[in-house]
């Protein structure tokens, strides 16, 4: 039976600290499959972080030898903490009679729901690093076991998510083309609340750009994206090259139905085939439980919803509300293209959408009357050349017949062509305010 060397962090700041720590190690050493090899000097330290007034900790590290899995050892440690009188769940930063943390488990990297090894904050704490050094642990080697944040190789991505799945983690995926802004960060934050692990992908997908579109010019700044993603709570960023996503003989495509027709599908032929293909690939590779998309690209969301349902990917799709600048412009990585005058003019999209919502709130139910109001507002801005204004059913964005409507979503696209380069913006709004807008 293979035995693994383990380093266990010890802490106590309640009761007879020394006796509690010694007693716990004695019980631990009596567990079948566990031997306590040696224990570092115990030392005093103050609480890290904010908490109620409390005594100092007595800390140290024990070296164990065990045939138990890391998860099994964790369960035993939890039971020892409970037996020592610790409350479950333990309130954060309150005094505790016994605190046991698995710091290392051989040279294995563990990234499960219950346990991350090496311990994520081991480097920040002298009461951990000093005893580890006293026990002769190679801290440089330990540092190499800490999981990297940025992944570019598809096989490494699949391995990482496989470990998460095996660890029982709920995985949240936030696919982006980078050039992150507060809208993307809101997706990461939502994922952070709902999932155990959050993966953000950064890939400017050539398949979804037309020949005369801005693929080459699309803004790219991976270092900044990684920083913003981590700030918002992402655990990992997958940022492959085009060659890593599509090899030279790449030939497949994923097509969907009516959701990809009209609006953006009409203006940008092939666009949604490229979107469906890359998203199918990202889902196949990363196998998330939940995937987060912004409602700003409402038709893209409808296309992906259809693809996910048809191909049977076992996940939940979450559409997140549009995040807007203070003056109402929907956040977009392409907003940086706007010259100062177009930037001012661009707010007409939001005003036009609001005019439909206000009219609906006042009782207007006729589809074409609502659309006419939007067009009138848009026409008031000479810098905006309208591509389309449509009122579609919520969800799948199916066409709504002329006549009375009970609700729906207004979608607009316009070009601002007066600046140095033409900029195309899209926006949309439900006729009925969502809960987050009330």
Active site residues: 184
Instruction: Single out the segment in contact with its own copies by CB under 8 A; choices: 302-310, 354-362, 401-409, 416-424.
Output: 302-310
Taking CB under 8 A as the criterion, the residue among 124, 138, 166, 341 binding its own copies is 166
Taking the complex as a whole, how short is the minimal distance between the CB of residue 432 and its own copies, in angstroms?
24
Taking CB under 8 A as the criterion, the residue among 245, 290, 349, 353 binding its own copies is 245
Taking CB under 8 A as the criterion, the residue among 15, 33, 55, 233 binding its own copies is 33
DSSP letters for 108-173: --EE-SS-EES-TTGGG-HHHHHHHHHTT--HHHHHHTSPPSEE--HHHHHHHHHHHHHTTPPEEE
Question: Is residue 27 near its own copies by the rule CB under 8 A?
Answer: yes
Burial class (CB in 10 A: 0-12, 13-18, 19+), 408: buried
CA angle, 202 as apex, 182 and 306 as ends, to 5°?
90
Taking the complex as a whole, how short is the minimal distance between the CB of residue 160 and its own copies, in angstroms?
11
Question: Is residue 253 near its own copies by the rule CB under 8 A?
Answer: yes
CB atoms within 10 A of CB 6: 22
The nearer residue to its own copies, 183 or 240, going by C-beta atoms, is 240
Q: What residues numbered 43-102 form the site for its own copies, per CB under 8 A?
A: 67-69, 71-76, 78-80, 82-83, 88
Secondary structure (3-state) at 392: strand
Question: Euclidean distance between the first and final Cα of the chain, in Å?
Answer: 62
The nearer residue to its own copies, 34 or 188, going by C-beta atoms, is 34
Question: Is residue 313 near its own copies by the rule CB under 8 A?
Answer: yes
Strand partners, 414: 386, 425
Question: Is residue 141 near its own copies by the rule CB under 8 A?
Answer: no
Total site size for its own copies, rule CB under 8 A: 62
The nearer residue to its own copies, 88 or 438, going by C-beta atoms, is 88
Helical pair 367-379 and 348-361, crossing angle rounded to 10 deg: 150
Cα 38 from Cα 15, distance rounded (Å): 23
Cα 70 from Cα 74, distance rounded (Å): 6
Instruction: Single out the segment in contact with its own copies by CB under 8 A; choices: 30-38, 45-53, 120-128, 359-367.
Output: 30-38
Q: What residues numbered 254-283 form the site for its own copies, per CB under 8 A?
A: 254-259, 276-277, 280-283
Stated as kind and residue range, the H or E segment containing 5 is strand 4-12
Question: Is residue 1 near its own copies by the rule CB under 8 A?
Answer: yes
CB atoms within 10 A of CB 419: 16
Instruction: Single out the segment in contact with its own copies by CB under 8 A; choices: 26-34, 56-64, 217-225, 327-335.
Output: 26-34
Cα 389 from Cα 375, distance rounded (Å): 7
- Pairing status of strand 171-176 against strand 197-202: parallel
Tokens of 42: 């115990």
Taking CB under 8 A as the criterion, the residue among 251, 326, 420, 438 binding its own copies is 251
The nearer residue to its own copies, 303 or 345, going by C-beta atoms, is 303
The nearer residue to its own copies, 210 or 255, going by C-beta atoms, is 255
Taking CB under 8 A as the criterion, the residue among 30, 223, 326, 420 binding its own copies is 30
Taking CB under 8 A as the criterion, the residue among 6, 117, 135, 307 binding its own copies is 307
Exposure letters 319-332 (e unless 16+ CB within 10 A, then b) = bbbbbbbeeebbbb
Taking the complex as a whole, how short is the minimal distance between the CB of residue 191 and its own copies, in angstroms?
19
On whether the CB atoms of residues 149 and 237 are closer than 8 A, the answer is yes
The nearer residue to its own copies, 141 or 284, going by C-beta atoms, is 284
Binding residues for its own copies, rule: CB under 8 A, are 1, 27-28, 30-34, 67-69, 71-76, 78-80, 82-83, 88, 154-155, 158, 162, 165-168, 245-247, 249-259, 276-277, 280-285, 287, 306-307, 309-314
């Amino acid at each position: 039976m293979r035995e693994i060397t383990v380093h266990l962090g010890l802490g106590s700041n309640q009761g007879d600290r020394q006796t509690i720590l010694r007693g716990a190690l004695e019980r631990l050493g009596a567990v079948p499959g566990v031997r306590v090899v040696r224990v570092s000097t115990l030392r005093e330290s103050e609480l890290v972080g904010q908490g109620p007034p409390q005594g100092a900790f007595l800390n140290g590290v024990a070296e164990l030898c065990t045939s138990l899995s890391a998860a099994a050892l964790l369960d035993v440690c939890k039971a020892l903490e409970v037996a020592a009188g610790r409350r479950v769940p333990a309130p954060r930063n309150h005094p505790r009679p016994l605190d046991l943390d698995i710091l290392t488990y051989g040279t294995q990297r563990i990234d499960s729901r219950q346990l991350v090894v090496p311990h994520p904050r081991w480097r920040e704490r002298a009461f951990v690093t000093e005893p580890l050094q006293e026990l002769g642990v190679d801290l440089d080697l330990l540092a190499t076991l800490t999981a990297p944040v940025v992944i570019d190789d598809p096989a490494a991505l699949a391995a990482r998510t496989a470990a998460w799945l095996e660890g029982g983690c709920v995985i949240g995926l936030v696919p982006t083309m980078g050039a992150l802004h507060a809208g993307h960060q809101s997706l990461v934050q939502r994922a952070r609340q709902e999932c155990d692990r959050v993966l953000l992908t950064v890939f400017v997908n050539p398949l979804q750009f037309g020949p005369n579109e801005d693929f080459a010019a699309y803004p790219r700044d991976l270092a900044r994206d990684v920083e913003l993603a981590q700030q918002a709570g992402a655990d990992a960023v997958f940022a492959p090259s085009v060659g890593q996503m599509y090899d030279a003989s790449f030939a497949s495509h994923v097509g969907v139905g009516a959701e990809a027709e009209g609006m953006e599908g009409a203006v940008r032929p092939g666009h949604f085939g490229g979107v469906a293909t890359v998203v199918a690939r990202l889902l196949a590779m990363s196998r998330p439980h939940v995937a987060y998309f912004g409602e700003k690209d409402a038709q893209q969301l409808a296309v992906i919803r259809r693809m996910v349902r048809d191909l049977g990917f076992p996940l939940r799709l979450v559409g997140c509300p549009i995040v807007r600048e203070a003056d109402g412009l929907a956040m977009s990585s392409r907003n940086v293209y706007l010259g100062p005058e177009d930037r001012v003019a661009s707010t007409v999209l939001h005003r036009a959408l609001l005019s439909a919502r206000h009219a609906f709130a006042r009782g207007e139910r006729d589809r074409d009357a609502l659309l006419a109001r939007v067009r009138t507002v848009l026409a008031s801005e000479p810098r905006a050349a309208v591509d389309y204004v449509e009122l579609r059913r919520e969800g799948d964005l199916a066409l709504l017949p002329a006549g009375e409507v009970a609700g729906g979503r207004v979608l607009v696209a316009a070009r601002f062509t007066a600046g140095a380069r033409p900029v195309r913006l899209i926006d949309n709004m439900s006729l009925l305010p969502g809960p987050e807008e009330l």
